[in-house]
Structure formats: C-alpha cells, structure tokens
Amino acid sequence: MKTAADRRTKRRMGGTGGGKGEARFALALLLPAGIVVFGVVLYPVVRTFVVSLFNVNSPMAGSYPFVGLSNYTKVFHDSNFYSVLGHTLYFTLVSTFAEIGLGIAIALLLNTPLKARWLWRSLVVLPWALPTIVNGALWRWIYNGQYGALNGLLSSLGISQTPHQWLGSPFLALNMVIMADVWKNTSIVVFFVLAGLQTIPEDLYEAARIDGSGAWQTFRRITLPLLAPSIAVVLVLRTIEAFKVFDIIYVMTGGGPASGTQTVAFYTYLQAFSNQLFGYGAALAYLIVLAVFAMSMTYLRILKQGQMSGVE
C-alpha cells in the first residue's frame, strides 16, 4: 500500500543532504518501516478525525449527519465526562506520586551495601514483567469480598474479622485499583532512579561525610538534586501511562461500582463500543490524543536536553 506519507518521504529524501546515493539508500532502508507503520496508522488517524465530525452511531458504512465540532462541545457539557476526568486525575496523581515516592525509597535501599544485591534487584523486575491483565485478575481475586486473601490476611493477623468488600464501593474501589497499579509499576521508577544513582560519583558522598553532613542532609543536598533529571523523566512517563489507564480497570472493576472507577479511556471505549456512539467516542479519543501529546512534548523536551543521567 502506497500512502501519501510515503510519497512525501520519497520527495523529501530525494533532495540534498549527504549526496544523492546516500539519500536513496536511506529511503530504501526506511521504506519498509514506513509502509509497516504509516500504512496502518495514517488512515485511522485521519478517519478518527472525520468520524468525530459526524454523528456516527453504528459500525455500518452509511451517510451520517455532519455535525461539525458539536461532538467536541458535547464533551464539555457532559457531566459524566467531568466525573470520569476527576477519576482519571485522581488515579494519575495518587498512583504517580505513590510510585515515585516508593520507587525512590526502594532504589536507595537497593543502592546500599546489601548482601546478594543482584538477587534483590532481580526481585523488582518481577511485578513489572507480569502482564497487566494477569495483574488485574490477580488483585481482583486478592480483594474478593468472600474468599479473598486480603480479608483472610487481616483476619489471620487478628486485625479485622469483618469481611470488607474492597471493590464494593466507588471510592474505595478506585483506591484499591490504584494500589494494584502501584504494586506493579513502582518497578519502573526503581529502574530509572537506580540508573540515576549509579552516575553520582562516590567522591561527592565522601566530601559530604568529611564536611560532617548527616544522612538526611546528604540526601537532600546531593542525591536528590542529582537525581532530578531521572525523576523528571519517569514522572512524565508515569503520568502519561496513568492518564491512559484502561486494561487494569477493564479487568478489575469494569468501570464500576456505580461508574466510580471509569477513566477517560474507559469512558471513550464505552461510548464507542457499548453505546455505538462512534462520533462522540472519536471526539473523546482526539481529546485524549491532545492531552497525551502535550505531556509527551514535555517528555521529549527533557530527553532532548540530554539530561537522562545513567540512561544510554
């Protein structure tokens, strides 16, 4: 399939630069990747935008009324949208901050002279590698109100004998989903912060010690400022991921109870595929794209500044 983008790339690359032969060679090397990516993606990107301008309410081809930007304005008058946006922001803020806080603590721990350090570090890889859906299914089972291990643990430890319905009320359920997400994704923060810690020269700590600086002061004045770039990168990364959260919600709560765990991505999915409001869903999708792009630009800016300490 030859798309407009391929033709455009061809024209671009035929130009000057490193000589005609080199440009042609570059085109030949990039063409397969271009076809594989743009052949699939370009049409949907344009199509989603077109669909968002029409009142498409079934998957069948046909003529639907053109509604201009009213699908977009509808979003901002939709009270459900504000409540799912609220859940998404809450999810994003709480999970990101918990992951960053815990991640820094664990990375500092793994940087101390532990015995068999490689073993502890390998452990941290495990939650990260667990497939998201398996993670969700597992925590749903742990939180189960009747047979769940969490209630079992609380009663075995003598903390609470009454069984709790962890996923039974909206706000509690949202927090429990966040806990499951934090359990899995803190690892990513640990990887980045550990890599950052490795770039801090030992002499700095030595000098701080000679100057009589305490542990907390050394952390605040030396470690934290030098870690700032790694933390910034992982902060943006986790924010973007959390903002798009879908899989874990789908498998753990299905958006419930009482829509209390619906996020923007999940709401978009429901509008398009359950309610068949494809036009409205497409408008929502484009708004997510805008938000994610804004966050990604921040990320790329950080990357470009070359501040990725410890990362190749």
Q: Per the structure block, which two tokens stand in for 143?
A: 């939180």
Q: Considering the complex, what minimum distance in angstroms separates the CB of residue 188 from another protein?
A: 6
Q: Considering the complex, what minimum distance in angstroms separates the CB of residue 238 from another protein?
A: 9
Output the CA torsion sign for 217, 224, 211, 205: positive
Q: Which is nearer to another protein, 93 or 300 (CB)?
A: 300
CA gap 132, 123 in Å, rounded: 17
**Site map 106..145 versus another protein, x via CB under 8 A:** x--xx-xxxx----xxxxxxxxxxxxxxx-xxxxxxx-x-
Residues 12-71 touching another protein, rule: CB under 8 A, are 12-13, 15-19, 22-23, 25-27, 29-30, 32-34, 36-41, 43-45, 47-48, 51, 59, 61
Collapse the DSSP code of 66 into the 3-class scheme (helix H, G, I; strand E, B; otherwise coil) and give the result: strand
Q: Considering the complex, what minimum distance in angstroms separates the CB of residue 302 from another protein?
A: 10
Instruction: Count Cα atoms within 13 angstroms, Cβ side, for 192.
Output: 26
How many whole angstroms from its chain centre is CA 36?
24
Among 94, 226, 228, 311, binds another protein (CB under 8 A): 311
Other Cβ atoms less than 10 A from the Cβ of 233: the count is: 19
Q: Which is nearer to another protein, 38 or 81 (CB)?
A: 38
Task: Give, in order, the Cα–Cα distances in Å from 150 to each of 91, 144, 155, 179.
Answer: 21, 8, 9, 13
CA 117-183-146 angle, to 5 degrees, is: 130
Residue 38 forms beta bridges with which residues?
A: none
Q: Considering the complex, what minimum distance in angstroms separates the CB of residue 68 from another protein?
A: 19
Q: Considering the complex, what minimum distance in angstroms separates the CB of residue 37 from another protein?
A: 5
CA gap 228, 156 in Å, rounded: 42
Q: Considering the complex, what minimum distance in angstroms separates the CB of residue 43 from another protein?
A: 6
Collapse the DSSP code of 161 into the 3-class scheme (helix H, G, I; strand E, B; otherwise coil) and give the result: coil
20 Cβ neighbours under 8 A, 6+ residues apart: 14
Interaction between residue 89 and another protein (CB under 8 A): no
Q: Considering the complex, what minimum distance in angstroms separates the CB of residue 124 from another protein?
A: 7
**Site map 198..237 versus another protein, x via CB under 8 A:** -----------x-----------------------x--xx
Number of residues interacting with another protein: please give it, by CB under 8 A.
109
Q: Which is nearer to another protein, 91 or 139 (CB)?
A: 139
Among 54, 90, 219, 250, binds another protein (CB under 8 A): 250
